[in-house]
């Protein structure tokens, strides 16, 4: 009897863990809505609290981008986000190559296309506007 109960607990746990692997719908929706001819490559799941300091974008990751490829960076927000997800990309010399926030006008682009001409490893940074709390996903796709 004890063995049966243990087996049940084990199977229940495995079942729960397996169920937990279902793709986050925010990611799948963001990836599939990246636009016609956009082919999914990678995603970044970003969940941040309100920032205590406001100097640079907090979520950072590196990614290689290759010459002669047009990438689309799409930003999607969860409903409960206080801020809107923004992106900036710097090259290996720490030079800013793109930002989804136009600081002059305050306009935020929900996607940015990048025609890469220099292969290399780039630093991709995300945060939410005004360093607010937020939950979102950044999807990287290729476009023709």
Partner 1 sequence: MIVIFGFSCRNSKSKTSEFVFPQTDSVPVSEAEKLSPEAIADISRNISSPVEIANLLQTLQVPFSQDYLAESIDANKQSTSFDKALKLGILGADLGYLNMYEKTSSSLDVLSSIRKIAEDIKVGQFFDFESIKRLSKNKSNLDSLLFISIDSYNKIDNYLRENDRGQLSALMIIGVWIEGQYLATQVVSRFPDKMLSDRIGEQKIILNDLLLLISPYCNRDQEFTSLCKDMQDIKDKYRDIRITYTQGEPVSVEKDGGLTIKQTETSVVSMSEEQLNGVIEITKNIRDKLILNN
Q: Which DSSP string corresponds to 44-70? A: EEEEE---S--SS-SEEEEEEE-TTEE
Applying CB under 8 A, the residues found at the interface with partner 1 are 17-18, 21, 23, 27-28, 31-32, 38-43, 61-64, 66-69, 91-98, 100, 109, 111-121, 142, 144
For residues 27 and 51, which CB has a smaller minimum distance to partner 1 in the complex? 27
Q: Which two tokens stand for residue 117?
A: 């001409």
Tell me if residue 100 falls in helix, strand or coil: coil
| Residue 14: CB minimum distance to partner 1, A | 8
For residues 39 and 50, which CB has a smaller minimum distance to partner 1 in the complex? 39
For residues 71 and 131, which CB has a smaller minimum distance to partner 1 in the complex? 71
Cα–Cα distance measured from residue 136 to residue 66, given in angstroms and rounded to the nearest whole number:
25
């Amino acid at each position: 009897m004890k063995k049966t109960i243990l087996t049940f607990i084990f199977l229940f746990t495995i079942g729960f863990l397996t169920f937990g692997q279902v793709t986050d719908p925010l990611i799948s929706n963001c990836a599939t809505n990246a636009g016609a001819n956009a082919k999914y490559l990678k995603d970044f799941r970003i969940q941040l609290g309100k920032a205590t300091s406001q100097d640079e974008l907090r979520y950072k990751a590196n990614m290689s981008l290759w010459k002669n490829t047009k990438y689309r960076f799409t930003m999607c927000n969860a409903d409960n986000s206080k801020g809107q997800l923004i992106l900036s990309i710097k090259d290996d010399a720490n030079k800013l190559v793109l930002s989804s926030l136009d600081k002059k006008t305050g306009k935020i682009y929900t996607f940015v296309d990048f025609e890469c001409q220099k292969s290399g490893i780039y630093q991709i940074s995300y945060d939410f506007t005004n360093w607010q709390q937020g939950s979102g996903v950044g999807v990287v796709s290729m476009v023709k």
